[in-house]
């Protein structure tokens, strides 16, 4: 039988636990999540366990990052299953605050990260990164971990978090883990559970398209030669495209034409009612001798 994990719901209890570990000179890693855990989340727990003596996983479905028409109330929640998965993987503590603990009445402060938050997901979900930045700032200040681990699946998000940590002098090292995928290439996501059987069968096409584009760009084709065609193919396969772009991975400035340096592909598209996001590095071309 899997042992039940210590779970706490208040900042006060969290700080007491962290203080006890600190008094024993133990290092602490934080893994923020919204629950409905899958192997992608658990891979971040593995990284945390390797890099620190103690791992705290936070589970909080953050209302501030959902627009009124989005899926906050239907977002998958399964505390029991999450708890079992985390016990098995090795976690020291689950911090699962209730709404009032994070957003007390009259809560009126928000963190916004300019520039990086404006393009890609920030353009179509203008509320999103403000909500993420505010809650992550709070979680970091509540736990004061040595490291915090985020997934490359949400590439723009981890860049924004790196920036806010730097700008606000929060003493934590941000670590990023690679995207964990299903066997057919679909990036794991708690929202994949929403996909109908038909849409689930079509969903890996997004990653296949990114791989295809990446190979073509790496072989010297231009964005103009590759992206419009890829968009048409995705549309024909049933995707409604939010964006499909090539960006500098350090600052999210769009890249057009032939790829000559670091570049990353970013995609968001809706299948049925489910929004999928994915991203992939474009390998740098070898220079001909």
Site membership for ligand AMP, residue 279 (CB under 6 A): no
Q: How far, in whole angstroms, is CA 57 from its chain's centroid? A: 14
Scanning the structure block, which residue is given the tokens 């016990």? 87
Using CB under 6 A, pick the residue from 60, 66, 150, 266 that binds ligand AMP: 150
Using CB under 6 A, pick the residue from 97, 131, 177, 249 that binds ligand AMP: 177
Site membership for ligand AMP, residue 44 (CB under 6 A): yes
The two three-digit tokens of residue 164, written as one number: 């806010």
CB of 238 to ligand AMP, least distance (A): 22
- Measured CA to CA, the distance from residue 222 to residue 220 in angstroms comes to 6
Site membership for ligand AMP, residue 134 (CB under 6 A): no
β-strand 274-282 against 263-271: which pairing, if any? Answer: antiparallel
Using CB under 6 A, pick the residue from 179, 203, 276, 277 that binds ligand AMP: 179
Site membership for ligand AMP, residue 154 (CB under 6 A): yes
CB of 65 to ligand AMP, least distance (A): 8
| Half-sphere exposure of residue 19: CA atoms within 13 angstroms, side-chain side | 7
Task: Please choose, from the candidates 246, 252, 103, 245, the residue with its C-alpha nearest in 3D space to the C-alpha of residue 163.
Answer: 252
Phi, psi at 135, each rounded to 5°: -70, -35
Using CB under 6 A, pick the residue from 11, 180, 202, 281 that binds ligand AMP: 180
CB of 109 to ligand AMP, least distance (A): 21
* Number of residues this chain uses to bind ligand AMP (CB under 6 A): 17
Whose Cβ is closer to ligand AMP: residue 223's or residue 274's? 274
Task: Please choose, from the candidates 265, 262, 272, the residue with its C-alpha nearest in 3D space to the C-alpha of residue 209.
Answer: 265
Phi, psi at 127, each rounded to 5°: -80, -20
- Measured CA to CA, the distance from residue 142 to residue 148 in angstroms comes to 12
Please list the alpha-helical segments (H only) found in the chain.
Answer: 11-23, 39-51, 79-89, 99-102, 121-124, 128-143, 155-167, 197-202, 205-218, 223-236
Site membership for ligand AMP, residue 34 (CB under 6 A): yes
Using CB under 6 A, pick the residue from 17, 153, 163, 275 that binds ligand AMP: 153
Site membership for ligand AMP, residue 281 (CB under 6 A): no
CB of 107 to ligand AMP, least distance (A): 20
Using CB under 6 A, pick the residue from 18, 42, 43, 247 that binds ligand AMP: 43
Phi, psi at 106, each rounded to 5°: 70, 15
Site membership for ligand AMP, residue 151 (CB under 6 A): yes
CB of 147 to ligand AMP, least distance (A): 13
Catalytic site includes residue 38: no
Residue numbers 185-214 binding ligand AMP by CB under 6 A: 187-190
Note the residues at the interface with ligand AMP (CB under 6 A).
33-34, 40-41, 43-44, 150-151, 153-154, 177, 179-180, 187-190
């Amino acid at each position: 039988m899997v042992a039940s994990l210590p779970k706490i719901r208040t900042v006060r209890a969290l700080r007491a636990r962290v203080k006890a570990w600190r008094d024993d000179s133990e290092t602490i890693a934080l893994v923020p999540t919204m629950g409905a855990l899958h192997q992608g989340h658990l891979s971040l727990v593995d990284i945390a366990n390797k890099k620190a003596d103690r791992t705290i996983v936070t589970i909080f479905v953050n209302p501030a990052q959902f627009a009124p028409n989005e899926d906050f109330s239907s977002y998958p929640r399964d505390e029991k299953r999450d708890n079992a998965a985390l016990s098995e993987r090795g976690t020291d503590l689950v911090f699962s605050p209730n709404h009032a603990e994070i957003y007390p009445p009259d809560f009126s402060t928000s963190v916004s990260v300019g520039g990086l938050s404006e393009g890609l997901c920030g353009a179509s979900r203008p509320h999103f990164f403000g909500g993420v930045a505010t809650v992550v700032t709070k979680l970091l200040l509540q736990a004061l971990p040595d490291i915090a681990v985020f997934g490359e699946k949400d590439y723009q998000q981890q860049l924004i978090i790196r920036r806010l940590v730097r700008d606000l002098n929060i003493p934590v090292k941000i670590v990023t883990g690679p995207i964990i995928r299903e066997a057919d290439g679909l990036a794991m996501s708690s929202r994949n559970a929403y996909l109908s059987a038909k849409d689930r069968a079509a969903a890996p096409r997004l990653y296949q398209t990114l791989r295809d584009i990446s190979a073509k760009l790496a072989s010297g084709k231009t964005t103009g030669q590759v992206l419009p065609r890829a968009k048409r193919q995705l549309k024909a396969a049933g995707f409604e495209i939010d964006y499909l772009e090539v960006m500098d991975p350090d600052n999210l400035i769009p890249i057009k034409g032939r790829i000559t340096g670091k570049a990353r592909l970013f995609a968001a598209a809706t299948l049925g009612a489910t929004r999928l996001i994915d991203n992939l590095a474009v390998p740098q071309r070898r220079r001909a001798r």
